[in-house]
Structure 1
Amino acid sequence: MSDRLLSSERLIQGWFDVLRLRMALGGREVDRLLVEHPSGAAVLAYDPDRWVAMVVRETRAAVLRVGAAPLDEVVAGVAEDRDFVGTARREALEEAGLELRDLEPVARIWMTPSSTTERVHLFLAAYSPADRVALGGGLAEEDERVEAREVPLAELWRAAEAELVDAKTFMLLQALRIRRPELFD
């Protein structure tokens, strides 16, 4: 395959950058836009004794733009230091008030490889009520307004089937359902 990158021009620089790439694809030169987005971590925290998961809701620009219903999401965040396990733990505490111990790796995925460099490391983590050590809600200095709530896993699975969760949440629910199907009865 002779496909290759010919040039790159930064159009926007900020929390994420937008680049215009000039590429040779199949013998033709084409332009593509690329969002350079830092990689992150996401964790589905679930209580195996009560068959619930901790999810968060936060106003999302894309969801608001298209007029869709708010999404239930797993806890997630950017891993600026590339410590993906540490990021998952930190975000669980900041967003949901959970102190997570054992994280089970599930996968490392590309979010949208056609247009962004973002990759997400996915984890599962069991918790109990004793692990809820803070209120959560996100960080004010990051303009986060996060609502954390427990949802029965069976109800969350129905929401996933109705397209009311995001991709990382759907993938983690599937992983848990394969590994622990009894939690979804």
Structure 2
Amino acid sequence: MKPTVIKLERTHERWATMSIATIRMPDGKILLRDVEDHGCAAAVLPYDPLRKTALLVAQLRAAELVAVGATESLEAIAGLVEGEDDAAATAKREALEEGGLRLGALEHVATAWSMPGVSTARLTVYLAEYRAKYRVGDGGGVAHEDEEVRVVELGLKELAALMTADGVVDMKTLVLVQALQLRRPELFD
């Protein structure tokens, strides 16, 4: 016998859905667990190997503001997988909307649970080469999404230093920068 969800009670629904899962364990014990669901997401770290730069976005994240007073979070470009899109299509769409970048090939890094203790979300992360000529717009997000997104281009060496000094604390960005360091260490000289 395996653990079984015997009841899923929806307690809140807006951008995210919160539920209480009632779970029966193999020994018959009943557990209650909170579950957050807002769908799966994709993220991409565009980098220019010639100029040794990366393109990121900075924006307000309410949870960081509440927790530590942070007014801006520097992150890899990301968004929720919507409709018929797959993760790769989402990463490319978000790169265009948020970063003003038209990306070609994506290099898959990983697909992982974001916070398996509480969330159903899985995040697929990619690296993608870009050149200055791929900038086809200003970026900054889509106005109807109520986002205040600022595009930030940083040198990879500077980005790695920020990460080491705890200046970049977003997990998807940390994973992507570390993946790029492992795959292309020469870009961080």
TM superposition score category, shorter chain reference: over 0.9
Q: Could you say if the C-alpha distance between residues 161 and 25 of structure 1 is closer, same or farther in structure 2, counting changes exceeding 3 Å?
A: farther
1:22 matched residue in structure 2:
22
Q: Which runs of 5+ in 1 are unaligned?
A: none
Residue of structure 2 aligned with 1:105, choices 95, 104, 108: 108
Report the counterpart of residue 76 of structure 2 in structure 1. Answer: 74
Instruction: Report the Cα distance in structure 2 between the residues aligned to 1:115 and 1:41, rounded to whole angstroms.
Output: 19
Equivalent position SS for 2:73:
coil
1:174 positional shift: 0.9
Q: CA deviation at 1:37?
A: 1.7
For residues 26 and 67 of structure 2, what CA distance do their matches in structure 1 show?
34
Normalising by structure 1, we get a TM-score of 0.95
Amino acid at match of 2:38: H
- 2:75 is matched by which residue type in structure 1? E
Give 1:140 deviation, angstroms. 1.1
Give the structure 2 partner of residue 183 of structure 1: 187
| Equivalent residue in structure 2 for 1:95, among 72, 95, 98 | 98
3-state SS of 1:72 partner: strand
- Deviation, 1:4, is 2.1
Deviations 1:28-66 (A, max 9, x none): 211111001210110000000011100100100111002
Distance 1:68 1:163, change over 3 A: farther
Task: Write the distance in 2 (CA, Å) between the matches of 1:50 and 1:100.
Answer: 17
Count of matched residue pairs: 185
Distance in structure 2 (CA, Å) of the matches to 1:152 and 1:67: 26
Give the AA of the match of 1:92: A
Deviations 1:56-78 (A, max 9, x none): 00100111002254321000000
* Residue 174 (structure 1) aligned with residue 178 (structure 2): yes
TM, length-normalised to structure 2: 0.93
The question of whether the paired residues in 2 share the 8 Å contact of 1:11 and 1:19 is answered with: yes
Which stretch shifts more, 62-71 or 109-118? 62-71
Distance in 2 (CA, whole Å) between partners of 1:163 and 1:35 is 27
The code of the aligned residue for 1:21 comes to A
Q: Do the aligned residues in 2 keep the contact of 1:18 with 1:33 (CA within 8 Å)?
A: yes
- The CA RMSD over aligned residues, in Å, is 1.3
Which residue pairs with 2:52 in the alignment? Answer: 51
Task: Check conservation: 1:71, 1:164, Cα contact below 8 A.
Answer: no
Inter-partner Cα distance in structure 2 for 1:79 and 1:2? 30
- Superposed CA deviations along residues 5-50 of structure 1, whole A, max 9, x for unmatched, are 1211000122221010111236321111100121011000000001
**Residue deviations 1:116-162, cap 9 Å, x none?**
01111110000000001100011110101100010111111122223
- Tell me which stretches of 4 or more aligned residues in structure 1 moved more than 4 Å: none
CA distance, structure 2, for counterparts of residue 80 and residue 181 of structure 1: 34
